[in-house]
Every structure is written in structure tokens, then in C-alpha cells.
Amino acid sequence: MSLEFTLSAEVRSDYGKGASRRLRRTNKFPGIIYGGGGNPTPISLDHNEVMNNLQHEAFFSHILTLDVGGAKEQVIIKDIQRHPFKQKILHIDLQRIVANEAITVKVPLHFLNEESCYGVKTEGGSINRVETEISISCLPADLPEYIEVDLAELKLGESVHLSEIKLPSGVTSTDLAHGDEDHDRAVVAVHATRATIESDDAAEGEGGEGESSEGGSSD
């Protein structure tokens, strides 16, 4: 992983909705660290610092360094609660990691060769990204920044399912772990566009008229 993210936090001793509102007025917001054999620890974080990091796609799929009063811990983001219509973070859940324990993380999908995709370039289709991220399980050291999906050979009407994605060594899909075909859903597909459908309909219409004309002349 090429990028590194460090967040500063403070242990929080004031709880409740009122305390959270007072905290947010100081440009901070509440959070909690849990797991990794440690006790759940309520914390507060700087709102601007976290918002700036949220601009990076990789922030969600990286192991973060959390500096809590000088003590550093390795964590991953498990949940972020946002304001329904304002650009504000209300709460964040962070999970401690242990080197030899698998973690479950959602990582982004990077679709390759979209413009040269056979179903788009040759057949006039359109790419439909059904999902932009997938849930994986792996050891912390094996955590990928993203997963690549090559669309070069994908044809019109075809799709790529979870089971067809090549995952890095040591990484497994949490959905496929259920062993149920219902969980092997499509993540991207090439669909016919309106122009493609109209073009096909027009071609069929011309073919039909030609047959009618030939039939009439033979009588």
C-alpha cells in the first residue's frame, strides 16, 4: 500500500447527546475504538482532518495509524455516520487490528479498459457498474488498496460476477464464503444503449421490407 494515513485523537470522558453536540461545536466529533483484545475506548477526532482524508478513496481500505494522546494503534474504519444533508461526520467506528487475525473490509473496484471494452467499442453497448466495492477478508498484511476488473473482452449482454474476479493471494470474498449461488452477483455488465436498440430495430425493419418486396415481385 503506497499511501499512509495518520489520525490524531483524544480519549473522551464526556458522553451522551448533549456532550456530542458540545464536542461538534469545537469542530470535533465522537468516535470509538474497539476490538483487538482491548476495551472499547470513546475518542474525539478533528473534523477537518478526517474530512480531508475522506477525499482519498484509499482512506477506506487502508490500515490507519491512530495517535491517541501519543499512543499509536493500527485501526481500520468499520462505520462512518454522516449528517443526512450537511457535509458533517457525526460518528466513526474504528476497529483495532492484530497482525495474525483476519479483518473484513470493503475495498473499491477499479474497472480497466472501459473505453476499449469489446461490447462498447465494437457492439455499441454501455457499461453498467452494478457495484463499486466488494467485501473481502484477509490478514492485515494482505489488504489490497483496490481490486482490478478487466473489461477488455466483455461483450454486449455479458456481465462479470464476484466469482470471476481475480483476487490477490490471501484475499477471499466474504459473500462467496457463504457458498450460496445467490451471493455470486454481478458487479458490472455491458448493456445495450437506446441507440443500439433502435439501430437493431431499424436493421430488422429493412430486412423485413426487402423480403416483402422480393416476395411481391415473384408472384
- Domains held by the chain: number: 2
- At residue 201, the pLDDT reads 59
44 part of a folded domain: yes
Reported as a single tens digit per residue, the pLDDT across 76-99 is 999 999 999 999 999 999 999 999
pLDDT < 50 regions, the chain: 1, 212-214, 217-219
Do 85 and 169 belong together in one domain? no
- At residue 205, the pLDDT reads 64
Q: What share of the chain is helix, strand, coil (3-state, %, to 5)?
A: 30, 40, 35
Residue pair 94/75 in contact by the 8 Å Cβ criterion:
yes
E strand or H helix at 73: strand 71-82
Do 142 and 193 belong together in one domain? yes
- Residue-range definition of the domain harbouring residue 71: 6-98
> Cα-flanking dihedrals φ and ψ of residue 99, to 5°?
-55, -40
- At residue 209, the pLDDT reads 56
- At residue 202, the pLDDT reads 60
DSSP per residue over 194-208, as a string?
Answer: HHHHHHHHHHHHHHH
Measure the CA–CA gap between 166 and 174, rounded to whole angstroms. 14
Do 31 and 93 belong together in one domain? yes
CATH code: domain of residue 157: 2.170.120.20
Number of neighbouring beta carbons within 10 Å of residue 67: 13
Do 66 and 117 belong together in one domain? no
- At residue 10, the pLDDT reads 94
Do 89 and 119 belong together in one domain? no
Do 78 and 138 belong together in one domain? no
- At residue 21, the pLDDT reads 85
- At residue 15, the pLDDT reads 79
1 part of a folded domain: no
128 part of a folded domain: yes
* pTM exceeds 0.85: no
List, in order, residues 6 or more apart from 168 with CB less than 8 Å away.
Answer: 138, 142, 144, 147
- At residue 2, the pLDDT reads 58
Measure the CA–CA gap between 207 and 195, rounded to whole angstroms. 18
Measure the CA–CA gap between 156 and 189, rounded to whole angstroms. 8
Do 94 and 109 belong together in one domain? no
Measure the CA–CA gap between 93 and 75, rounded to whole angstroms. 10
190 part of a folded domain: yes
Q: How far is CA 83 from CA 143, 189, 213, in A?
A: 29, 33, 66
List, in order, residues 6 or more apart from 197 with CB less than 8 Å away.
Answer: none
CATH code: domain of residue 13: 2.40.240.10
